[in-house]
Amino acid sequence: MLTDIEIAQQTKLIPIDQLAHEYGLSDDQFIPYGRDKAKVALDTSNAKGKLILVTATSGMPAGSGKTTTSIAVAQAFKKLGEKACLALREPSLGPSFGMKGGAAGGGYSQVVPMESINLHFTGDFHAITAANNLLAALIDNARHQGQVDLKEITWRRVLDVNDRMLRNIVTGLGGSANGIPTETGFDITAASELMAIVCLAAGEEDLRVRLDRLVVGLKRDGSAYTCKELGATGALMALLKDAMLPNLVQSIEGVPAFVHGGPFANIAHGCNSVAATRAAMTIADWAITEAGFGSDLGAEKFYDIKCRMNNLQPAATILVTSLRALKWHGGVPLPEIGKENMDALINGLPNLKAHIVSLKRFGQQVVVSLNHFANDNEEEIDVVRKECLAAGVRFAISDGFAKGGEGALDVAREVMVAVKEGSKPLNYAYSLDESIEEKIQDVNTKVYGGQDVSYSSAALKDLAKIKALNMGFEKLPICIAKTPFSMSHDPDLKGAPHGFTLPVQRVILNAGAGFLVVTTGAIMRMPGLPKKPAAYTIDVVDGKITGLS
Amino acid sequence: MLTDIEIAQQTKLIPIDQLAHEYGLSDDQFIPYGRDKAKVALDTSNAKGKLILVTATSGMPAGSGKTTTSIAVAQAFKKLGEKACLALREPSLGPSFGMKGGAAGGGYSQVVPMESINLHFTGDFHAITAANNLLAALIDNARHQGQVDLKEITWRRVLDVNDRMLRNIVTGLGGSANGIPTETGFDITAASELMAIVCLAAGEEDLRVRLDRLVVGLKRDGSAYTCKELGATGALMALLKDAMLPNLVQSIEGVPAFVHGGPFANIAHGCNSVAATRAAMTIADWAITEAGFGSDLGAEKFYDIKCRMNNLQPAATILVTSLRALKWHGGVPLPEIGKENMDALINGLPNLKAHIVSLKRFGQQVVVSLNHFANDNEEEIDVVRKECLAAGVRFAISDGFAKGGEGALDVAREVMVAVKEGSKPLNYAYSLDESIEEKIQDVNTKVYGGQDVSYSSAALKDLAKIKALNMGFEKLPICIAKTPFSMSHDPDLKGAPHGFTLPVQRVILNAGAGFLVVTTGAIMRMPGLPKKPAAYTIDVVDGKITGLS
C-alpha cells in the first residue's frame, strides 16, 4: 500500500495557472508561487456558492478524517458534474514534526503538493510569526527606552514549533543593556491572536482596524495599551500583506482548494480564513469547508464567530464519524477501536446523537458521513445508519481515503438533497448582547451538555479587568478553549456527558481578533514533542521529501 | 527627489520567466515565486564567469554604499555590452525594522522587487529559523524524555528580529511538565550556524554532511553530541530543501541578480551563498558579488573561508570608499562628514591605504571605487585618486545611486583592465594546518594591523574543549567576529591602528559551517531596536508598502 506522500507525489498536477484560468481567474487575479501554488487577489463581493461545513463527532487521538472527507466530497461533486471548491486550513509546522503528522488529507483525498503545504507553503505562518514577534520586540523596546510604563504585558511571542521549554520563560536577563527581566512565554503560532486576525479580517482596511485595536498591555492606570498607541500597525500591515491573500492549490483529482489560515480549534477558533471561504464561494457553486475537531469546538465557533462576523449562512453541515471514533467514546481503549464490538458502538452512539442535536439546534441540515475502514462490519454500520435516520438526519458512507471522490458520491448526493430541503438561518448559541458569563453558560448548556459554569479566581479577575476597561469588550463573541476528546472540558468524560460544571480558568481579551478566549481545564497554548517525534522519520531522498504523513 | 522605494516601485520589471529564458535557463531549471522572483536549480559545474568581489574601507554608521556600487557596476557592464550577473546577500528582516533599513541597494542601483526582497522574499530566512528552532526543541525534548544527559547545550534558538530581551533568557520554567530550567538565549537568524551552512554547502549531499556533524552540546563525558546522533538531520534537510536554491531577481536596469543567503559580516562570515555565486558565474561572463562591511571583515572571510572551501579565484576586487567614510576615519563626527575638510580627509587616508595593502597581499588586482555624493569636492577627490595611484591600484568614481549603470561605466572599464592584468592565485592569510592561535595571530597581523592576541579565560577554556574533542576541529578556518568601525577590535580606533592587542573573548565551534567563530570585544549576536525604530515609518498605503528604505 502506498503512503500518503507517495500517492501525493505520483499525482500529475494541473499547472496552477491553467487551473486558475479554468475557474475564471485572470492573470492579474493570482500570483504563482512555484508551478503548483498561487496567491489569489479576488473581488469576493459576489460570493454566491453554497457553503457546506464539514465537522465531526468528538475527537480521538487517531484523528477523525474530517479533512479527508472534505476533499473526498469536493471530488465527488466534481465527478457529479458540479463546480466545487475547497476552503481548508493550512497545516502548522509544529505538529508535522511532533505527534500528529501533516494535515492535508489522506490516501486518495489529499490536497497537493502535500509536502509544500505541510512545510513552509507560501510562508503565511512565518509572516504571522514575524509580525507577532516584531510587535513583542517593539513593546519591550518602548519599555526599555522609557517610552511607556506598563503594569502588565499581555502580548506573548510565538513560534511554529512544538517546544514545551518555551511555555514559561524569563527574558531580559544579563543586565540593563539587555532589557528588563520579564516573565513571559511563547505560544504556537496557530494559537496566536494574529492568526485569528488574518483569518477573520474582511480585507486590508479591516486588518488595519483590527491591528489598531490590539490590546498588548495595561498601563499603570489600568487603561489599555494598544498597537495603535505604540505605532506598530503599519509595520505589521507590511509584514502581513501577502499572508492575507488566500492560497490556491488543488486536490489529487484536480478540484481547486483555497488552503489558508490555520488556527487550532481547541485553543483558537479553528477555521480557515474568511478570504479563502469567500474565494471558494466566488469561483465555484459549492464551497466545502472544514472546522477543527468536534462540532462542539470548530462548528460552534464557525457559526457563532466566523459566520456571524461575516454574515455567512452555511447551506448544510456534514458530520464526520466512524465506527472507531464511536467505539472509543463507547469506552474501548485506542488499540482496540478497529475490532468488532457492538456493545462499545452502542455505548458510543450518544456522542453522535449529541452532536446531531447540537447541529440541528443551530438550524442546519445535517448529513452524517461515516468514514469507512476496510474491515468495518456491516451490521455495525447499519446501527449507525438507523440512529441517524431516527435522529432525522441523512446518512452516507465515505470511502474517500481509499477511493477518492468516487468513494464519496453518496455523501455528495445526500448533501445536495439536504441543501434542497434547506437549512434555517443560523440560530446562534448566544446573542452578542448577553453578558460574558451568560454567553459561556449558553454554550455550555446548548452545545456541550453541561449544567453550571465555575470561575477560577484568575478568571474572575480577568472578567473584572475586561469590564473595567469600559471599551465594550463584553459585547464580543467568546472563543472557548477546551479538550477535543470530550463534549465537556474533561477528556475522560466520553460519550455525551451531562450535568457537569464547566471550570473557566482564564478569560483572555483578543480585541483585534474580536473575541474573548475562555480557557477551561488544563489547556496548553504551546504543545510539546512526544517520545518519538515524527521529525525522526522525515528526510530528503533523491531530492524528494519522505516520511511526512 | 524620489525615495528608494518609490524608484523601485516605478520600475517596469521584466517578467521573471522572460529574464530566466534570456539568460539561458529552461523551464525546468527555475521555479517562479510570484511574477518577479524565481528559485533556480542549476548545474553549476561549468561556472566560468569572472568573479569580481566588491568590498569597502572600514564601516561607518551611515553605510558605505557597497551593495549600491555592486549593482551599479553590474548595470555598467550591461551597458558596455557585457553579460553580467549579481550575487548578493538577502537582507535580514530584523534590521529592516530597526536602525538600518533595507539592504537592496539604493537610488537607481537597486535590486527589485525591493519590498519583497527586504521583507519575506522567498522565505529562506524563515526556513532557517524554523529548522534552527526545531533542532533546539528536539534537543530539549530528548533531555526532557531522559534520552540524553548533556553537560552543556551549545545550540541556541534564533529569530529574525532585533530583540535585546531575547539575548539572555531562562527557558523551561513552570514545573517539570514544562521542561528543565535552562539558561540560554536567541541570536538573530543572520548570525546562526544554519545560515552559514546554507551559504557554504556545495549541494544537497554536502548539506547533509554538514548537518550531521553539527555539534549541539557536550555529553557528560565531554564528548560531542551531534545532530546526527540526535537523529534530526533528515527533518532539517526537509525544512532547508527550498532554502538551498538561489533566488533570481533583477536590478532596476534588468541585470539578473541571485540574492541568496544573508549572514552578517561582523558576527558571521558575511557573504551570499556559494550556490548564488556559482549560479551567477554560470549564466554570465561577469559575476559581481559583495562581502559585508570593510575588507578586514567580509573580504578576509570571503577569501579565507568561502573561496578556499569552494576553490573560487576572484578575478579582481573593487574597494568602495567615499570622502565621507574617509573623513569619518579622519576624526570628523558623523553629522559633519558631508562638509569639505581636507585635513580630515588626509587624516583618513591611512584607512584606505591599509585596506589596499591588505587586498594586494591576498594577491588581488584592486580598483578603488569612490562612492560619489552631489556636493563632493573635486580637489578632495583628486587627493584620493592620487593616493590610489601611488598605492599601485586603479581608481574610478561611481555615481550609481544617482545615475544607475551609467554612473559606474568608469569603474567597470577599470575592472576590465585590471582583470586583463590578472590577479594572482589567492594568498590566504593563514594555512589550515596552523594552530588556532596561529591563525588568529596571522589575521591580526596581516589583515588588521595588530601586534598581539590575548585570550579571556573563557576563550582558553573554549580552546581546550575544542582540542579535547580530538575531532580535528583545529584544522578549521576561523571566522572572527569584531566591530566593523575599525580595522581593530576597538570601534574608537579609527584610520589604520597599529600595535594593538586583539582581545579574544570566546572561540565557538561551528562544526557544521566548518569554521571556528572567534569573538573579540563586545560582540552582540542579537541586535536591539533603537529609540525610533524604522518600523514606525513603514506602512501599506493603497496596497503598496511605504517607508522602507
pLDDT in tens, B322-368: 999 999 999 999 999 999 999 999 999 999 999 999 999 999 999 99
- How near does any CA of chain A get to the CA of B482, in Å? 19
A536 touches B: beta carbon within 8 Å:
yes
Q: Give per-residue pLDDT as tens, B116-164.
A: 999 999 999 999 999 999 999 999 999 999 999 999 999 999 999 999 9
Mutate to test the interface with B, among A188, A536, A540, A546 (most CBs of B within 10 A): A540
| Nearest by Cα to A173 from B173, B474, B450, B498 | B173
- Are A301 and A362 within one domain? yes
pTM of the model: 0.97
B174/A165 Cβ within 8 A? no
DSSP output for B224-269? EEEHHHHT-HHHHHHHHTGGGSPEEEEETTS-EEEE-----SSSS-
Residue B268 has what pLDDT? 87
Q: How far apart are CA B118 and CA B101, in angstroms?
A: 9
3-state secondary structure (DSSP) of residue A463: helix
- Residue among A130, A162, A531 minimizing CB distance to B137: A162
Q: What's the total number of domains in chain A? A: 3
B129/A536 Cβ within 8 A? no
- Residue among A123, A147, A159 minimizing CB distance to B123: A123
Asked if residue B543 is part of any domain, the answer here is no
Task: Read off the CATH number of the domain in which B114 is found.
Answer: 3.40.50.300
- Are B92 and B197 within one domain? no
Length of chain A: 549
Between β-strands A84-88 and A256-259, what pairing exists: parallel, antiparallel or unpaired?
Answer: parallel
- Are B398 and B507 within one domain? no
A137/B165 Cβ within 8 A? yes
Asked if residue B431 is part of any domain, the answer here is no
| Nearest by Cα to A287 from A54, A124, A90, A14 | A54
- Residue among B145, B242, B537 minimizing CB distance to A531: B145
pLDDT band at A102 (very low <50, low <70, confident <90, very high): low
- Are A414 and A489 within one domain? no
Q: How far apart are CA A453 and CA B428, in angstroms?
A: 73
Asked if residue A82 is part of any domain, the answer here is yes
Residue A8 has what pLDDT? 87
Q: Give per-residue pLDDT as tens, A506-524.
A: 999 999 999 999 999 877 8
ipTM over 0.90: yes
Asked if residue A542 is part of any domain, the answer here is no
Residue A76 has pLDDT above 70, yes or no: yes
- Are A319 and A454 within one domain? no
A238/B545 Cβ within 8 A? yes
Range of the domain at A55: 4-121+248-421
Q: Give per-residue pLDDT as tens, B36-52.
A: 999 999 999 999 999 99
**Mean pLDDT, residues B244-265 taken together:** 96
B168/A169 Cβ within 8 A? no
Residue A522 has what pLDDT? 76
Beta bridge partners of A366: A317
Interface list for B 22-41 with A (CB within 8 A)? 31-35
| Nearest by Cα to B191 from B524, B463, B533, B491 | B524
- How near does any CA of chain A get to the CA of B333, in Å? 24
Beta bridge partners of B30: B40
According to DSSP, residue A423 is labeled: P
- Are A92 and A204 within one domain? no
Q: How far apart are CA A477 and CA A480, in angstroms?
A: 10
Q: How far apart are CA A276 and CA A253, in angstroms?
A: 20
pLDDT band at B64 (very low <50, low <70, confident <90, very high): confident
A170/B145 Cβ within 8 A? no
- Are A31 and A90 within one domain? yes
- How near does any CA of chain A get to the CA of B254, in Å? 21
**Mean pLDDT, residues B235-258 taken together:** 98
Asked if residue A194 is part of any domain, the answer here is yes
Task: Read off the CATH number of the domain in which B149 is found.
Answer: 3.30.1510.10
- Are B260 and B160 within one domain? no
Give A383's contacts (C-beta < 8 A, 6+ positions apart). A342, A345, A346, A349
- Are B129 and B170 within one domain? yes
Q: How far apart are CA B157 and CA B163, in angstroms?
A: 13
- Are A508 and A370 within one domain? no
Last residue of a domain, one of B240, B258, B283: B240
- Are A102 and A236 within one domain? no
Asked if residue A526 is part of any domain, the answer here is no
B267 contacts B483 by C-beta, under 8 angstroms:
no
Asked if residue A91 is part of any domain, the answer here is yes
Residue B174 has what pLDDT? 96
Give B368's contacts (C-beta < 8 A, 6+ positions apart). B318, B319, B320, B321, B352, B356, B384, B388, B393, B394, B395, B396
Which residues in A lie closer than 8 A to residue B147 (C-beta atoms)? 531
Cell numbers 579622519 correspond to what residue? B330
A129 touches B: beta carbon within 8 Å:
yes
A170/B234 Cβ within 8 A? no
Last residue of a domain, one of A240, A272, A295: A240
Three-state SS annotation for B87-110: EECCCCHHHHCCCCCCCCEECCEE
**Mean pLDDT, residues A87-92 taken together:** 95
- Are A70 and A134 within one domain? no
- Residue among A133, A177, A539 minimizing CB distance to B161: A133
